[in-house]
Amino acid sequence: MGNGGIPKLISEIDSLLNPLEGLTLEDADLDFGSDLDIRNLVDWIQSGNKAKKIMVLSGAGVSVAAGIPDFRTPGTGLYDNLQKYNLPYPQAVFDVSFYRSQPQPFVTLAKELWPGLTHSPTLTHSFLKMLSDKGLLLRLYSQNIDGLEYLAGIPDEKLVECHGHFRSASCIECGTTADPESVKNTIIKDVTVPKCDKCGGNVKPDIVFFGESLPDRFHQMLRTDVEEADLLLVMGTSLQVAPVSMIPDMVRCEHRVLFNREPVMKIRTGKDLFLPGNCDDQVMELCSILGWKQDLLEENAKVQINNSSNFKNDEGTERKNLRKEPREKT
């Protein structure tokens, strides 16, 4: 396949899988389930039996309030702001074959995005941590690579990082694991490409590039989670990247809730709920009605990375030590 073949193919498959791409509230001839509102969601959560195994699918939109741009929002999204990298097409920055010959654009971007240095978890991340603490979270499937779920304190077992993470790294040629600290230093301090000790190939953090498989954990957990979940929350994703984009159609639960600025999936009357706008605003509204608002604000204050006196930073140090070994090959 020639240069650009795989991303092009992915985008063609995606457009088949995502017939609603580009729709806005105004032009979409869809039913947005106006018979349901946020109080229905509150009832499901408070009933004690309707939403006690909540599955969440999140995307870049949940981290926009942390100052990390999403991909596809026109104007502010990363894809509209990659001109400085001189890429043949925007997705090239996350393409393995491109990284092999031209690693510098990813290295420069990775330095900007490296988790734990500047960006703190948002209210939405802290809300998901609260769901976990209350025993209501079945699993969080995050497409993000910013590590903010991890920094928010969501336990490993509750989290599936569908597109990998920066905490481990390996060679794109021979697969040999590299020392994560040294990879981090090479990228953050030297802003150059880390090289493999064994074969001299380019090393990258274990985030999933186009053309790479998702972690085994994703497939393993998904099989049973789609059967078990009693509610699905879809938050801040355009549902443009397969196979994650198929999750809303795979779950067996009766109700699904979409927190997004745009209607990215079909809303079934009487079953689904669309909460438009910024997910942090909707989360605040939801937590106010649930009586969780104060706890949410306190939970979020603890995980702000500039707050050096908080216990989460202490916990973060501990968690980092616990996670020296790569958890999965991505």
Ligand X SMILES: NC(=O)c1ccc[n+]([C@@H]2O[C@H](COP(=O)([O-])OP(=O)(O)OC[C@H]3O[C@@H](n4cnc5c(N)ncnc54)[C@H](O)[C@@H]3O)[C@@H](O)[C@H]2O)c1
Residues of the binding site for Zn(2+): 171, 174, 196, 199
Q: Note the Cα 19 to chain centre separation in Å.
A: 22
Rule CB under 6 A: say whether 236 interacts with ligand X.
yes
Rule CB under 5 A: say whether 154 interacts with Zn ion.
no
Q: Work out which of 6, 152, 214, 241 binds ligand X, going by CB under 6 A.
A: 241
Q: Work out which of 42, 145, 151, 265 binds ligand X, going by CB under 6 A.
A: 145
Measured distance CA(182)–CA(249) in Å, rounded: 41
Measured distance CA(56)–CA(247) in Å, rounded: 10
Residue 199 interacts, among Zn ion, ligand X, none and using kind-specific CB cut-offs from 5 to 8 Å, with: Zn ion
Q: Work out which of 169, 193, 264, 286 binds ligand X, going by CB under 6 A.
A: 264
Active site includes 119? no
Rule CB under 6 A: say whether 91 interacts with ligand X.
no
Let me know if 52 is exposed, middle or buried by CB neighbors in 10 A (0-12, 13-18, 19+). middle
What would the x/- binding string for ligand X be over residues 107 to 126, using CB under 6 A? --------------------
- Catalytic-labelled residue, pool 119, 163, 165, 255: 163
Identify the bridge partners of residue 234 per DSSP, sorted by sequence position.
57, 258
Q: Work out which of 54, 56, 65, 196 binds ligand X, going by CB under 6 A.
A: 65
CA 141 vs CA 95, 148, 163, 225: distances in Å: 22, 13, 10, 10
Rule CB under 5 A: say whether 239 interacts with Zn ion.
no
Q: Which is nearer to ligand X, 202 or 237 (CB)?
A: 237
CA 142 vs CA 53, 162, 183, 188: distances in Å: 17, 6, 23, 24
What's the sign of the alpha-carbon dihedral 294, 297, 303, 304?
negative
SS3 245: helix
Rule CB under 6 A: say whether 63 interacts with ligand X.
yes
Q: What are phi and psi of 223, to 5 degrees?
A: -50, -50
What would the x/- binding string for Zn ion be over residues 161 to 200, using CB under 5 A? ----------x-xx-x-------------------x-xx-
Identify which of 268, 281, 271 has the alpha carbon closest to the alpha carbon of residue 32.
268
Q: Which is nearer to Zn ion, 182 or 317 (CB)?
A: 182
User: Which positions lie near ligand X, rule CB under 6 A?
Assistant: 59-61, 63-65, 68, 70-73, 77-78, 143-146, 163, 236-238, 240-241, 259-262, 264, 278-279
Catalytic residues: 163
